[in-house]
A and B are shown apart, each in its own frame.
Chain A
Amino acid sequence: MLRIECPCCGLRDQDEFRYGGDASVTRPGHDDPDPEAWYRYVYVRANPAGLHREFWQHVIGCRQWLMVERDTRNHAIASVAFARKAPAKKSFTQTSLAQKSLTKKSPVRKSTA
């Protein structure tokens, strides 16, 4: 049984996690019209016999997405970190959207979130 050291919850059984696949591929920009870029993102995998960077979600725990480096030959885990690289952008929070819809006539306030 794999055990993953969740940065939030500590060492937990793999049963608590959901696999999210190869974390080394990068999603093309949403407006990227190049089918080749999307083909590579969706299908092409390096599939190394060795260290593999991959996503796991701690579904029965903190529900955070994690980025794990694991050796595919012996399952030794080299590192675990939160998958989010930067904090969410502040200009597009739910609060600001809600305020936008509620105060149609008044000028939109800038989010204070």
Chain B
Amino acid sequence: MARYSAFSIFRNALSGQKDWQRAWRAAEPKPSYDVVIIGGGGHGLATAFYLAENHGIRNVAVLEKGYIGGGNVGRNTTVIRSNYLLDGNTQFYEFSMKLWEGMSRALNFNVMFSQRGQLVTAHSADQLDGFSHRANIMRLNGIDADILDRDEVRRLVPYLDFSDTARFPIHGAIFQGRAGTARHDAVAWGYARAADGHGVDIIQNCEVTGFVRDGDRIVGVETTKGRIGAGKVGLAVAGHTSVLGAKAGLELPIESHVLQAFVTEPLKPLVDHVVAYGADHFYVSQSDKGGLVFGGNLDGYNSYAQRGNLGVVREVAEAAIALMPCISRIRLLRHWGGVMDMTPDASPIICPTPIEGLYLNGGWCYGGFKATPASGWCFAHTIATGKPHPLVAAYGLDRFRTGRALDEAGAGPSAWLQ
């Protein structure tokens, strides 16, 4: 794998840009692998990369039913933050943040990680108290967090509604300066290229249709490109975990729901940070092309359709205008939907399963993108050693049965209300 560098850009410019190699091989499946990862999204590709990089397991295939980066890794709003409250989440997402900070260098691929800072507005003294509680927990875990009063918020983001007629007046905010965004496709491509460089086969247009068993153990997968043997199988197909889980005989506490995202026509620089609205569900950042990228709530009923409902478009627009009246005349360019694995506590699942040879990574709800590197790191560890990585010890499948749900929002067990 040729390294990307300023020098390589210069050299290829002299030869008319004709000598670039493919970023990864178009591999065809071998009869068997030590590990087969189902799902060529960010998490699956990161898992394959860390299996090779951290554990020396290079006889690995990543099977993707569509194309790399065509699922949720290419459909999210690219927000990266580590402002979690509960033990288990706090440390995991901060570990992820640290991996993000070194990712472009580690992968030799510019993922355009931009630590522009994220703030969540507070709209009452009580809400700000809650944010202070969160900020204190973050600081105790060595994570940067600041509490801003109304004037400080106004200096930072003057375009929000600070008028006397604001529907929910801004009282303050919680701010994490190291939070930000990244180029989501580049994350998929970077991990794919780096994994391929370690000898991992990335097999696109290869849908898994079933599992091969030897007694109770899973020893391979049936695919649209034939049977592929596997020492271990890792499932990283968030959105469709239940569909493949059912084929393996797993009973899961997961519902699939659609979350929409939106982008407006390009503007001159306006939103310098990631801004989240504390009085409703709305979050926004501005892409390098100038479009405002934002999202809101789930559509609210089980769905495998990768498209959303107009009712939610209206709700999100209402929240947007309540927070930022200045964008009321901006036209929406596109909106799209991604299918989320929603768990009853909105926390993910990374663990060995009751089925020998099968490992599960799923249940990412609406927070999977920021977790990509840590998820891959910890899932690779879990597959390689057969035991959960300490950072994902709280993400076991049995936590619901044993009453150890990690309900960050305190929203109760109805997945669509999380």
- Contact surface of A with B, Cβ cutoff 8 Å: 1-2, 13-15, 19, 21-22, 35-36, 39-40, 42-49, 52, 54, 70, 72-75
Q: Which residues of A contact B303 (CB under 8 A)?
A: 72, 75
B326 at the interface (CB under 8 A from A): no
**Interchain CA distance A106-B240 in the complex, whole Å:** 63
User: Pick the contact of A52 from B240, B251, B302 — CB < 8 Å?
Assistant: B302
Contact B251 A72 (CB under 8 A): no
- Contact surface of B with A, Cβ cutoff 8 Å: 240, 242-243, 246, 251-256, 300-305, 309-311, 344, 400-401, 413-416
Contact A2 B309 (CB under 8 A): yes
List 8 tightest A-B contacts by C-beta distance, closest first.
Answer: A47-B242, A43-B253, A49-B304, A43-B400, A19-B301, A72-B304, A39-B401, A73-B304
Q: Which residues of A contact B254 (CB under 8 A)?
A: 45, 47
Nearest-neighbour CB distance to chain A for B415, whole angstroms, equals 8
Contact B311 A47 (CB under 8 A): no
Contact B416 A47 (CB under 8 A): no
Contact A15 B242 (CB under 8 A): no
Contact A45 B253 (CB under 8 A): yes
The number of residue pairs between A and B whose CB atoms lie closer than 8 Å in the complex comes to: 69
- Interface residues of chain A: helix, strand, loop or mixed (majority): mixed
Contact A42 B302 (CB under 8 A): no
Given contacts A49-B304, A72-B256, A73-B305, contact A21 B242 (CB under 8 A): no
Q: Which residues of B contact A22 (CB under 8 A)?
A: 255, 302
**Interchain CA distance A1-B299 in the complex, whole Å:** 10
Contact A45 B304 (CB under 8 A): no
Closest B residue, CB atoms, query A20: B414
**Interchain CA distance A19-B257 in the complex, whole Å:** 12
Contact A49 B414 (CB under 8 A): no
**Interchain CA distance A60-B289 in the complex, whole Å:** 42
> With contacts A47-B255, A52-B302 known, what are 15 further pairs, Cβ within 8 A?
A1-B309, A14-B309, A19-B300, A39-B401, A44-B253, A45-B253, A45-B255, A47-B252, A47-B254, A49-B240, A49-B242, A49-B256, A54-B302, A73-B304, A75-B303
Contact B305 A72 (CB under 8 A): yes
Contact B302 A39 (CB under 8 A): no
Given contacts A1-B310, A1-B311, A49-B243, contact A44 B252 (CB under 8 A): yes
Nearest-neighbour CB distance to chain A for B348, whole angstroms, equals 15
Closest A residue, CB atoms, query B416: A19
Nearest-neighbour CB distance to chain A for B134, whole angstroms, equals 27
27 pairs, A vs B, C-beta closer than 8 Å: A1-B309, A1-B311, A2-B301, A15-B311, A19-B300, A19-B301, A19-B416, A21-B255, A22-B255, A36-B401, A40-B251, A42-B344, A43-B401, A43-B413, A44-B251, A44-B252, A45-B253, A45-B255, A46-B242, A47-B242, A48-B242, A49-B240, A54-B302, A70-B301, A72-B256, A72-B302, A75-B303
Nearest-neighbour CB distance to chain B for A10, whole angstroms, equals 19
Q: Which residues of B contact A54 (CB under 8 A)?
A: 301-302
Closest B residue, CB atoms, query A47: B242
Contact A42 B413 (CB under 8 A): yes
Contact A45 B242 (CB under 8 A): yes
Nearest-neighbour CB distance to chain B for A78, whole angstroms, equals 14
Q: Which residues of B contact A52 (CB under 8 A)?
A: 302
Contact A75 B305 (CB under 8 A): yes
Q: Which residues of A contact B251 (CB under 8 A)?
A: 40, 44
**Interchain CA distance A15-B310 in the complex, whole Å:** 10
Closest A residue, CB atoms, query B245: A47
Nearest-neighbour CB distance to chain A for B382, whole angstroms, equals 22
**Interchain CA distance A74-B304 in the complex, whole Å:** 8
Q: Which residues of B contact A2 (CB under 8 A)?
A: 301, 309
Nearest-neighbour CB distance to chain B for A6, whole angstroms, equals 16
**Interchain CA distance A47-B246 in the complex, whole Å:** 9
Closest A residue, CB atoms, query B251: A44
Contact A39 B400 (CB under 8 A): yes
**Interchain CA distance A74-B309 in the complex, whole Å:** 12
**Interchain CA distance A74-B303 in the complex, whole Å:** 8
Contact A47 B256 (CB under 8 A): yes
